[in-house]
Amino acid sequence: MKIPDIQNQSDSRNIVIDKVGVKGLRYPIVVEDRINKTQHTVAELDIYVELPHYLRGTHMSRFVEILHHYHQEALIGNLENFLNELKDSLQAEAAYININFPYFISKKAPISHISSILSYDCEFSASLKEEYDLLIGVRVPVTSLCPCSKEISAEGAHNQRSIISIKARYQEFVWLEELIEIAESSASCEIYSLLKRVDEKYVTEKAYNNPKFVEDIVREVTLKLEQDDRITGFLVESENAESIHSHNAYALISRLHK
């Protein structure tokens, strides 16, 4: 039986489609881990190509088929090959993949030194047009404590959970763990899943002695990223879930298009 290939029809509307493909595909992956070599996790994938003006449709089954060519353990180390194969298979001028996943790190509490595991939402975002481009990203939960509230109040200071996001482009390899450390060291205090009372005393006092506005956080991250010669572009955001409001405080610095 011959089954017609409708997607392969020619298209006379003469319109290139910037991105077309699959979105929200969940897939188990293995990522490199600075301590344990590898880590199993679960990703959500968006995979797109640019569609030439003369084709009516792309072949979405090939996106998933090519993905399965890369055994789940090999995908992350072969993103450029994956995008190349996608471009060739689909006669595309450009190909894109976004990979979002939780990444787990074992941390020791600051005083008791008891270990616990904290998760960070991370991202690889790769594209291949004339050149290959890769952005890596982390979203890091931290504590922020308000300098104004501390200064004007007789006692105490409002503080809250904040999320610091960093996306970075590099010319020499950078670990996700390194971006996470940059974020954590730029907040009022870092966060742990397990804190005994001696640790809770420590993080409370550390945050109180280390107040940061949302503006301070993104500027401190920026200073650190600018001083790292491996990093060639970045975007920093901080979003603070203000404990005294029901809206958030937010700041963004972009050095992606320098």
**In the complex, least distance from residue 88 CB atom to a second copy, rounded to whole angstroms:** 19
Nearest to 226 by CA among 185, 188, 258, 181: 258
- Three-state SS string over 75-124 comes to CHHHHHHHHHHHHHHCCCCCEEEEEEEEEEEEEECCCCCCEEEEEEEEEE
Identify the residue among 32, 73, 93, 215 touching a second copy (CB under 8 A).
Answer: 215
Binding segment (CB under 8 A) for a second copy, from list 84-92, 124-132, 178-186, 217-225? 217-225
186 closest CA partner among 197, 176, 178: 178
Name the nearest CA neighbour of 96 among 65, 129, 130.
Answer: 129
Which of residues 141, 179, 180, 184 is near a second copy by CB under 8 A? 141
Count of residues binding a second copy (CB under 8 A)? 104
- 65 is an interface residue for a second copy by CB under 8 A: yes
Smallest distance from the beta carbon of 158 to a second copy, in angstroms?
Answer: 5
Q: Does 225 bind a second copy (CB under 8 A)?
A: no
105 binds a second copy (CB under 8 A): no
The smaller minimum CB distance to a second copy, of residues 73 and 88, is found at 73
Quick check: 170 and 232 in contact, CB under 8 A? yes
Task: State the minimum distance, in angstroms, from the CB of residue 3 to a second copy.
Answer: 5
DSSP label at 239?
Answer: E
Kindly state the smallest distance separating residue 104's Cβ from a second copy, in Å. Answer: 5
Q: Where does this chain touch a second copy (CB under 8 A) — which range of 76-84, 110-118, 124-132, 172-180?
A: 110-118
Interface map 158-197 toward a second copy (x if CB under 8 A): xxxx---------------------------x-xxxxxxx
Contacts of 218 (CB under 8 A, 6+ apart): 164, 236, 237, 238, 251, 252, 253
Q: Is 257 in the site for a second copy (CB under 8 A)?
A: no
Beta strands in 198-244 (DSSP E): 231-240
> Which listed residue (34, 69, 108, 201) binds a second copy by CB under 8 A?
201
Judged by CB, which is closer to a second copy: 118, or 135?
Answer: 118
Q: How far is the CB of 203 from a second copy (least distance, A)?
A: 5
Question: Does 34 participate in binding a second copy (rule CB under 8 A)?
Answer: no
User: What distance lies between CA 172 and its chain's CA centroid?
Assistant: 18
Instruction: Tell whether residue 31 is a contact of a second copy (CB under 8 A).
Output: no
As a whole number of angstroms, the distance between CA 44 and CA 99 comes to: 6
Q: Say if CB 204 and CB 192 are below 8 A apart.
A: no
Asked if residue 74 binds a second copy (CB under 8 A), the reply is no
